[in-house]
């Protein structure tokens, strides 16, 4: 039993004895409801599946799937990643097209960037980055890849970016360097990494600005942020979705390019020229003899 909270905000008064018994069974067996079909739940409860349908309608739902969704949310919240993975496995056994459901959520998360953020908000955050003395990029745990990607793409446009990595236990030292004129661009979503929340508070206390990329305006990193940009993380999988956050980082980098004028174009061209000189990218025609040149060069080196 996950706790008698599934119907905590739904009045059960006026239900027939049969429907009340069904509601009590759902409350007491919400894990089973989260994992099994309506037919299987009816079998385990000793109820006809139609009774569960009538219960759903009597409570104002269109069907039993709405009750199942409530149970899955409760189970996910209390069971964590393992609970969500168990729901995913059970759903895949009932519906083999689980990938389509995942893709649907991913598309919605990507689309949320345009729905949750106005162009002016992105441009204001980009302006703050371009004006800052230094721009620090921070993302821990699952968000580290997002911070790394944003730091790299921003570095093609400007030279004042710093990736906060905390190697060797130096996170506090790096955050301690932030001050007035600096900007911390930070990414985090629920469940929020404690070190990230503390880093934001410390940066703000030292006078640095904060651009928060997060999943809620009530997020602990958004409460004191000078700019807040939002993304959705909905997912039927065991882990929250990250494609919305990635889409937001790309939008923010694009906003910097839009707002940066000639300065970012010059920096980008210089970076491109350097990459070309270094042969950073594969060129099938020119790389055919790379191995031969490399071997020849190495033979001339002293032992």
Which of 151-155, 223-227, 234-238 is the least confident region? 234-238
Q: How far apart are CA 152 and CA 142, in angstroms?
A: 17
Buried b (16+ CB within 10 A) or exposed e, 38-75: beebbeebebebebbbbbbebbebeebeebbebbbebb
pLDDT of residue 17: 87
Is the pLDDT at 30 greater than 50? The verdict is yes
Whether residue 197 has pLDDT greater than 50: yes
Q: Give the residue with greater pLDDT, 203 vs 169.
A: 203
Closest CA to 172 of 201, 150, 147: 201
pLDDT band with cut points at 50, 70 and 90 for residue 10:
low
Which band of pLDDT confidence, cut at 50, 70 and 90, is reported for residue 118?
very high
Share of the chain above pLDDT 70, in %: 79
Each residue of 253-266: pLDDT tens digit?
Answer: 999 999 999 999 99
pLDDT at 112 over 50: yes
Contact assessment for residue 59 and residue 10, using Cβ atoms and an 8 Å cutoff: yes
Mean pLDDT of the chain: 84
Q: Region 228-250: what's the mean pLDDT?
A: 86
User: Is the pLDDT at 55 greater than 60, yes or no?
Assistant: yes
Distance CA 73, CA 234 (A): 12
The length of the chain in residues reads 303
Going by C-alpha positions, the residue among 126, 165, 83 that lies closest to residue 261 is 126
pLDDT of residue 284: 72
**Which band of pLDDT confidence, cut at 50, 70 and 90, is reported for residue 268?**
very high
Residue 245 pLDDT greater than 60, yes or no:
yes
Specify the 3-state DSSP secondary structure of 181.
coil
Contact 210, 204 (CB under 8 A): yes
Q: Is the pTM of the predicted complex or chain greater than 0.75?
A: no
Domains and CATH numbers, the chain: 17-96 (1.10.10), 109-278 (3.40.50.10490)
């Amino acid at each position: 039993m996950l706790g008698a909270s599934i119907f905590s905000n739904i009045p059960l008064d006026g239900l027939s004895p049969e429907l009340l018994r069904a509601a009590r069974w759902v409350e007491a067996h919400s894990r089973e409801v989260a994992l099994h079909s309506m037919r299987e739940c009816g079998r385990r409860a000793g109820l006809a599946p139609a009774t569960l349908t009538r219960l759903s309608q009597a409570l104002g739902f269109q069907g039993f799937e709405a009750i199942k969704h409530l149970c899955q949310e409760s189970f996910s919240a209390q069971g964590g990643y393992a609970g969500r993975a168990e729901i995913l496995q059970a759903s895949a056994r009932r519906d083999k097209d689980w990938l389509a459901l995942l893709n649907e959520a991913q598309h919605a998360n990507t689309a949320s960037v345009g729905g949750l953020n106005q162009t002016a908000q992105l441009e204001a955050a980009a302006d703050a980055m371009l004006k800052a003395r230094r721009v620090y990029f921070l993302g821990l745990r699952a968000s580290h890849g997002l911070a790394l990607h944003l730091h790299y793409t921003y570095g093609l446009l400007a030279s004042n970016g710093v990736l906060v990595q905390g190697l060797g236990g130096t996170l506090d030292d790096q955050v301690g360097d932030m001050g007035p004129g600096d900007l911390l661009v930070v990414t985090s979503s629920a469940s929020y990494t404690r070190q990230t929340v503390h880093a934001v508070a410390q940066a703000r206390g030292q006078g640095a600005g904060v651009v928060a990329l997060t999943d809620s305006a009530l997020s602990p990193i958004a409460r004191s942020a000078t700019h807040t940009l939002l993304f959705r993380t909905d997912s039927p999988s065991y882990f929250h979705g990250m494609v919305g956050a990635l889409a937001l980082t790309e939008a923010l980098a694009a906003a910097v390019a839009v707002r940066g004028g000639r300065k970012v174009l010059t920096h980008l061209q210089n970076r491109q020229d350097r990459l070309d000189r270094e042969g950073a990218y594969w060129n099938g025609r020119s790389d055919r003899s790379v191995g031969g040149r490399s071997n020849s060069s190495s033979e001339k080196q002293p032992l």
